[in-house]
């Protein structure tokens, strides 16, 4: 067993992408490889083969490696519920809710679970490509660190540091990070990868030579900015979808403060005749109106009642009613489905302060948050068209009410979701609703888009993008040096 850790100078430096690319490169060479992220903070998650929950980017890396995602691959997942608190998921299962100070103290205990998960994974694979979180140079978080150098020191593995040149200041990022590390941490940082470079490499080479001379460490390669690369994002919300020729279906999604699993919308970003827009704060309400749209989608939420209150405060309730009066369609996914109902009850405070909130009242259902999160991969069919669908469920709430008598789909033989009598309003607990192209086309046809054969097979697209990424790493990285870090 060999472990290599990819760390970054900042969040979104490209760690997740590099790990995914390396996993695909090694898998194509016949290496038994698995991804590993000791600690992750993200609201985008996936259901694992053992019925647990891990970060979405780690699940993508497992796909790149050609293996089933497992809870051992991301032993600590933090799902923020406020600026100071998060749900803590330990080895795939909900441990509870902690504020930042409590979790900082708990890391001593979490360290044992991280080590146990890494050891379990190491017994099943020959190579582990681990990913850090944020930056290893966060001075205030160094004590009991399990996300970056604390893990690397614990398992004694080499580290490669990634810097994002597209942001500017990449040399300051790399050198400054090294300067803030301890001597042993600097020693185990074996070299660098420069990410997202645009332009003529000849203009960059003098800087790379200076970097090696200044630090005594090699640059293993410079990765170009891959235009249009779309892989499951860790947290950042993608921009609008592609604009095609002819008729465009306009889709709006409120960018909720605790939006979760926004990867649901990646197939719409890729659709050549869909214009997808995320609407942030202060864009609706007094003196402002929503752009014209055919479909509004309320996304998943980690804190349904809090995000529902945000929607109201932002003026979305009146905007949605106006949208419906003009014939527009509304779809709610998971937490968004719960918001469409009459009431949301959280008597035990599972997602925030205990209490109940009135929903938008667009579907005759009520939701109660109950302990024991629903975690499952599912498949079934869209109703009534019968197109196959597949995806996953991650939710606490259980919904009941007359509207469920007209379900949107059937999942593993049971009805799911609801559709209003006039067909304008739809809701479901299924994440991945648009991933299967035939179902995607059928849903968009309900909203007025006649574009047979235009939907993208999202799973095939993922595989293609991973191969494109791996081809880039093969061409641009010193893979022989990377293999030496892995013991040959």
3 state DSSP class of 88: strand
- 286 burial via Cβ count (<10 Å: 0-12, 13-18, 19+): exposed
Q: Which long-range CB contacts under 8 A does 234-237 form with residues at least 24 apart?
A: 234/12, 234/16, 234/40, 234/42, 234/44, 234/55, 234/56, 234/57, 235/41, 235/42, 235/43, 235/44, 236/12, 237/262, 237/278
**Distance between alpha carbon 373 and the CA centroid of its chain, in Å?**
18
- Say how many C-beta atoms besides its own lie within 10 A of residue 75's C-beta: 29
- 358 burial via Cβ count (<10 Å: 0-12, 13-18, 19+): exposed
Point out the catalytic residue in the list 431, 436, 440, 472: 431
- Say how many C-beta atoms besides its own lie within 10 A of residue 225's C-beta: 13
C-alpha span between 441 and 452 (Å, rounded): 7
Q: Which long-range CB contacts under 8 A does 104-111 form with residues at least 24 apart?
A: 104/141, 104/143, 104/144, 107/144, 107/145, 107/146, 108/144, 110/39, 110/75, 110/76, 110/146, 111/144, 111/146, 111/150, 111/154
What is the C-alpha radius of gyration for the chain, rounded to an integer number of angstroms? 23
Helices then strands, each counted (H, E), the chain: 14, 26
CA quadruple 2, 54, 61, 235: dihedral sign: negative
Indicate if 334 belongs to the active site.
yes
Point out the catalytic residue in the list 334, 409, 440, 472: 334
Indicate if 472 belongs to the active site.
no
Active-site positions? 334, 431
């Amino acid at each position: 067993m060999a472990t290599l850790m990819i760390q970054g100078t900042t969040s979104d430096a490209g760690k997740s992408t590099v790990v995914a690319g390396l996993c695909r490169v090694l898998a194509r060479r016949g290496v038994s490889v698995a991804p590993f992220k000791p600690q992750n903070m993200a609201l985008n998650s996936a259901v694992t083969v053992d019925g647990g929950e891990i970060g979405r980017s780690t699940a993508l890396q497992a796909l790149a490696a050609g293996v089933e995602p497992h809870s051992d691959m991301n032993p600590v997942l933090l799902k923020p519920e406020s600026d100071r608190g998060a749900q803590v998921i330990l080895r795939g299962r909900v441990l509870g809710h902690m504020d930042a100070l409590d979790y900082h103290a708990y890391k001593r205990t979490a360290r044992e679970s991280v080590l146990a998960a890494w050891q379990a994974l190491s017994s099943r694979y020959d190579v582990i490509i681990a990913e850090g979180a944020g930056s290893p140079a966060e001075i205030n978080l160094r004590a009991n660190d399990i996300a970056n150098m604390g893990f690397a020191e614990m398992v004694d593995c080499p580290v490669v540091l990634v810097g994002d040149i597209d942001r500017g200041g990449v040399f300051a990022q790399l050198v400054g990070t090294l300067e803030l590390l301890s001597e042993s941490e600097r020693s185990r940082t074996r070299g660098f990868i420069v990410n997202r470079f645009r332009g003529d490499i000849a203009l960059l080479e003098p800087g790379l030579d200076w970097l090696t001379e200044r630090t005594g460490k090699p640059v293993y390669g410079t990765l170009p900015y891959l235009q249009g690369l779309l892989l499951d994002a860790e947290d950042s919300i993608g921009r609008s979808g592609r604009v095609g020729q002819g008729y465009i279906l306009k889709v709006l999604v409120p960018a909720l403060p605790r939006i979760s699993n926004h990867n649901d919308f990646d197939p719409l970003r890729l659709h050549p005749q869909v214009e997808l827009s995320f609407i942030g704060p202060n864009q609706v309400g007094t003196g402002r109106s929503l752009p014209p749209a055919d479909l509004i989608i309320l996304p998943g939420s980690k804190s349904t009642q809090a995000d529902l209150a945000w929607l109201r405060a932002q003026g979305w309730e009146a905007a949605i009613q106006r949208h419906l009066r003009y014939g527009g369609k509304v779809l709610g996914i998971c937490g968004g489905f719960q918001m469409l109902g009459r009431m949301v009850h959280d008597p035990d405070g599972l997602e925030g302060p205990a209490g109940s909130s009135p929903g938008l009242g667009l579907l005759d259902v009520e939701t109660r948050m109950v302990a024991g999160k629903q975690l499952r991969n599912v498949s079934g069919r869209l109703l009534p068209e019968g197109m196959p669908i597949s995806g996953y469920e991650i939710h606490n709430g259980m919904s009941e009410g007359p509207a469920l008598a007209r379900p949107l789909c059937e999942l593993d033989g049971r009805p799911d979701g609801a559709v209003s009598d006039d067909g304008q309003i739809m809701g479901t607990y299924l994440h991945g609703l648009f991933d299967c192209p035939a179902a995607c086309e059928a849903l968009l046809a309900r909203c007025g888009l006649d574009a047979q054969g235009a939907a993208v097979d999202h799973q095939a697209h993922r595989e293609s993008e991973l191969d494109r990424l791996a081809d880039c790493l093969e061409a641009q990285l010193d893979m022989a040096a990377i293999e030496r870090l892995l013991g040959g």
